[in-house]
Chain A
Amino acid sequence: MPQITIDGQRIETSAGKTIIEAALDNGINIPHFCWHPGLSVSGNCRMCLVNTGFPRKAADGSFERDENGNSVIGWGPKLAIACATPVAEGMVIDTKGERTEHAQNAIMEFLLINHPLDCPICDEAGQCKLQEYGFLHSKGQSRYNEQKNQKDKRVELGPNVMFDGERCISCSRCIRFADEVAEQPVLTFVQRGDHVTIETFPGTSFDSPYSMNVIDICPVGALTSIDFRFTSRVWEMSFTDSICPGCSRGCNIKVGVRNNEILRLEPRTNMHVNQYWMCDDARLTQYKFVNENRISSPMIRSGNTLAPTTWETATARAAELLKNYKPSEIMVIGSAHGTNEDNYLLAKFAHSTLKTHNVDFFRHLDNHFADTFLRTNDRAPNSHGIVEVGVKHEPSSGVSMDTLVERIKQHAIKAMYVMGDDIAANSDFASALTGIECLIVHASNHNATTALAHVVLASTTYAELEGTFTNMNKRVQYVQPAVATQENERIAGLQMSRWDKFGASNDRWARGERRNCRQNWQIIQNIANLFGADWNYSDSESVFKDIANHIGAFSGMSYNLLQEFQGLTLGKADSPEPKGVVYQSHTLKPN
C-alpha cells in the first residue's frame, strides 16, 4: 500500500493506481480532458500534467531536511501526466504549484489556438470542460494572431450524433468509447498535426445503440445530439436524479426539465448498474410520452365519449361500479411500469378490500431489444418488485393473464381494474375487453385501453412520482418527481431552475402544463377508503415504510438509504455495496 503526498495531503492508496485515480479517490480533482475512468488511458490531452518528485535522500540513507526540518523534495526534471503515471511509495505530487499551473496555462492556450470559441451557439456551453478550465487554468488571452484552422462543422457521425471538427480538441474519448464500450470501432483520427480530425471509416456509420454516450463524454461541444441540438441552454434546465423506465436494467439517469417539459435524459453514474452509460433508445423515447398525449384529468364515460371530471366524481364512480360485482367477477391487473408502492397498495386493495384472488400483471417482453451490455428483454422497470409486493397470480384460485381472455368470454370476469398498463395493445386482450362490463383504468397517456375504459384515472409517469423501482438484479432504486403536476407543484425537493423559481403566471416561459394527475397509490387509497378501508398514507414514503415493515425482502430500507447508496438489493439492506467515488464527466453548476 504505497503512501503518497498530494498537495501536502498524505494519502494511502493501492498499488497500480494512477495518480489521477488516487487523487480522485480522495476528492482531489486533477484537470483532465482525455482521461475517463470507464475508458483506457491514452494520455494525449496533456492537461493532467502534475509536478512529481520524491524526498531526497542523503548519502547515509536518511532523508535530507531543510532548515525547517521538512524533507527536501527532488522534483522530476519534467512534469508527468497524472492519468498514466502509476503511484509509487513516497511519491510527492503537486497539482497546484507554479510549475503545474504554468503547464496547465500553456496547454489551455495550445488547445484554444484552433478552438472556434463559439460558445454562444454551442450546446455544451455551461457544462463544458474546456470552458470551465478556461476560467480556472487559463490566462484568458491568446498570443495566436494567425488564421484559425477551418474544419467541417456539421458532420453526422451517425443517426444521432453530430460532429463539429473545429471544436474538437482531439482527446480521443469518443474513439476509445466506440472501440471499447460500444464495441463498434468505426471512429478514427485522420490527418496529422493541427489538421487532425475525426471521421468514420468509409461506408460505416456510428450507429451503435450506445452511440449517444459520446455526447456526454465529449469534454467540449464537438459531439452534439441531433435530437436535442439547440433545444435549450444547459442552465435553463433543472436536472433531477431518476431511473430510466425503459427496461428492467434500471439505468440511473438525470432528467433535464424546462418549463415543465422533459427536454433530455442523461446517464448518471452508478457503478453497480449502468456505470456511466445508457442506451440511445431510452434517450430518444423515454421522455416524449411524459410531454405528449397525456391524460390531464380523470375522466368517466358517458355514452361513447370520455368526459373530464373531478377526482371525487371519478373515484366515487369507480367504487360504485366495483360494488356491483362479486369479488370473483373482478380481475385486478397490476403494472410492471408502476412503482413498488403503487403495486403494494393495489395488491392490498385487491386482497383485503375487494377480496378477490384474481390478481396478475402483464409482462412486456421483447427479445429483440435485449443485448449483452445494458439492454434487457423485459421492457418494464419493475417486474421483479411488483411480484415481491404481492401482485402475482395465485395458482390455487385466481385468474391469471393466461386464462383471462377465456374467463372473460365465459362471463366469469365481468369487471377489470387495470393499473397503468395498456393491455389492449395486445390484440387478444383488445377484443376480449370489449365484452367487459366495467373497465377501470389508471393511465398516464391515451391508449387503446383507455379508449375502452369506463373510468379513466389520470396517473403520473415516472417523471412525476416519488417511489421505488426494483430492477432485474433486485436492486431497489429511488425515483423522485422531476416534472410538476397540479399536486406536486413546488413540493420540497423538486429540482427547480432559476426560471422555475421566479416564473409568474404572466410569464410565457412558465406556462408549461400542470396536469391533474395523481400517483397510482393515491388513487387506490381514495377508492379503497370509499369501501371503508380507512387508509391514511400521507406520501409515498409512508407507503414504503409500510412495505419495509411488512415485506421481508424490503426490511431495513428507507428512502434516505436508497438515495445514499444509489439503491439497495432486496434482502440485503444491511449490507449495501460500497458507495465509492462517483465520477461525473462534467458537473452542472447550480442555477
Chain B
Amino acid sequence: MNVTKNTEKDRLNFWEKLYLPEIARGLGLTLKQMFKPPMTRQYPEERWEPTGSYRGRPVLVLEEDGERCVACSLCSRVCPALAIEVQAAETTKEKERYPVKFEINMLRCIYCGFCEEVCPEEAIVMSKDYELVFTNQEDAILGKDKLLIPIAQLQDRLEFLRRYK
C-alpha cells in the first residue's frame, strides 16, 4: 500500500492543477443557478399547511361533552423537559377525574411528542400549530383555555395516530 500515491499532486491533472479552468467551471455553475427560479416561500403571506405527521404545539382534545383528559399526569411524568403541569380534581361524571389545571410551558416544550405517545386516552395530541411567539414568560405558559381544541380540527393527526402509532 502506497499512501503517497494519493496526494493532491497525483490526483489532479495539469489543468486542474492550474486551478483556473476549475474556477471558471465553478463560476459557471453559480451563474447558471442565478437564472433558476427561487425556491423561497414568502412566509407571512404564503403559509405552509403541515400534514398529519407534523409535531406542532401539543393540544388537548375537546369532545362535545368536555375534555378527554383524565389528568393522569403521565404526560407530565414522561415529559423530558418537565413542560407539563397537571392538577387533577374529582367530577361526578363517569370518568371521575378531570384536570382542573393543565398547563404546558411552551418555553420548556421540545415537541418530542412523548406526551402524545404515553397518553392512555389519546387526549393530548400534537397539533399543526407552529406559530408560537410570546412576549413574556407568563404568556408562554398555556392553560386549558388555550390548549383545548375541538376534535374536528384535529382529525388529520388522529387519523395519523390511528394508522401509524
Question: CB within 8 Å of B: which residues of A?
Answer: 119-121, 125, 153-154, 229-233, 235-236, 498-499, 502-503, 506-509
Contact = CB atoms under 8 A, between A and B. Distances in A.
Interface stretch (B26-34, B38-46, B83-91): B83-91
Nearest to B89: A230
B154 interface: no
Contact of B73 (A154, A236, A502, A506): A236
A233 B73 contact: yes
Contacts of B137: 506
A502 B108 CA distance: 12
Nearest to B107: A506
A121 B103 contact: no
Interface string B105-126: 1011000000000001100000
A154 B85 contact: no
B97 A230 contact: yes
Given A508-B85, A509-B85, A120 B120 contact: yes
Nearest to B137: A506
B71 interface: yes
Can you list the 9 inter-chain pairs with the closest CB atoms, starting with the nearest?
A120-B72, A121-B97, A230-B88, A509-B85, A233-B73, A120-B120, A121-B70, A506-B137, A230-B90
Contact of A507 (B89, B96, B105): B105
Contacts of B120: 119-120
A120 B121 contact: yes
A302 to B, nearest CB: 36
Nearest to B143: A508
Contacts of B77: 233, 235-236
Contacts of B149: none
Contacts of A154: 96
B73 A229 contact: no
26 contacts: A119-B120, A120-B121, A121-B71, A121-B97, A125-B72, A154-B96, A229-B90, A230-B71, A230-B89, A230-B96, A230-B97, A231-B88, A233-B72, A233-B77, A236-B76, A236-B77, A498-B82, A499-B82, A506-B107, A506-B137, A507-B82, A507-B85, A507-B105, A507-B108, A508-B103, A508-B105
Contacts of B161: none
B147 interface: no
Q: In the complex, which of the residues A120, A154, A229, A509 has the most CB atoms of chain B within 10 Å of its own CB atom?
A: A120
Contacts of B105: 506-508
Contacts of A509: 85
Given A121-B95, A502-B82, 11 more contacts: A119-B120, A120-B74, A120-B121, A121-B70, A125-B72, A230-B97, A231-B88, A232-B88, A236-B73, A498-B82, A509-B85
A229 B90 CA distance: 8
A503 B137 CA distance: 15
Nearest to A153: B96
A121 B72 contact: yes
A229 B107 CA distance: 31
A345 to B, nearest CB: 41
A134 to B, nearest CB: 14
B151 interface: no
Nearest to A226: B90
A134 B90 CA distance: 27
B103 to A, nearest CB: 6
A121 B108 CA distance: 26
Contacts of B74: 120
A352 B122 CA distance: 69
Nearest to A164: B96
Contacts of B73: 233, 236
Contacts of B97: 121, 230
A119 B88 CA distance: 14
A507 B84 CA distance: 10
Contacts of B121: 120
A205 B77 CA distance: 37
B31 to A, nearest CB: 52
Nearest to B91: A230
A233 B70 CA distance: 12
A189 B141 CA distance: 49
B70 to A, nearest CB: 5
Contacts of A502: 82
Contacts of A506: 105, 107, 137
B122 to A, nearest CB: 12
A503 B88 CA distance: 20
Contact of B70 (A120, A231, A232, A503): A120
A116 B145 CA distance: 31
A159 B70 CA distance: 25
A230 to B, nearest CB: 4
A235 B82 CA distance: 14
Contacts of A507: 82, 85, 105, 108
Interface string B10-41: 00000000000000000000000000000000
A578 B107 CA distance: 53
Nearest to A591: B77
Contacts of A236: 73, 76-77
A231 B97 CA distance: 10
Contacts of A508: 85, 103, 105, 141
B104 to A, nearest CB: 11
Q: In the complex, which of the residues A119, A235, A507 has the most CB atoms of chain B within 10 Å of its own CB atom?
A: A507
A120 B137 CA distance: 30
A121 B82 contact: no
Contacts of B96: 121, 153-154, 230
Nearest to B123: A120
Contacts of B72: 119-121, 125, 233
A292 B21 CA distance: 83
A153 B90 CA distance: 13
A231 B70 CA distance: 13
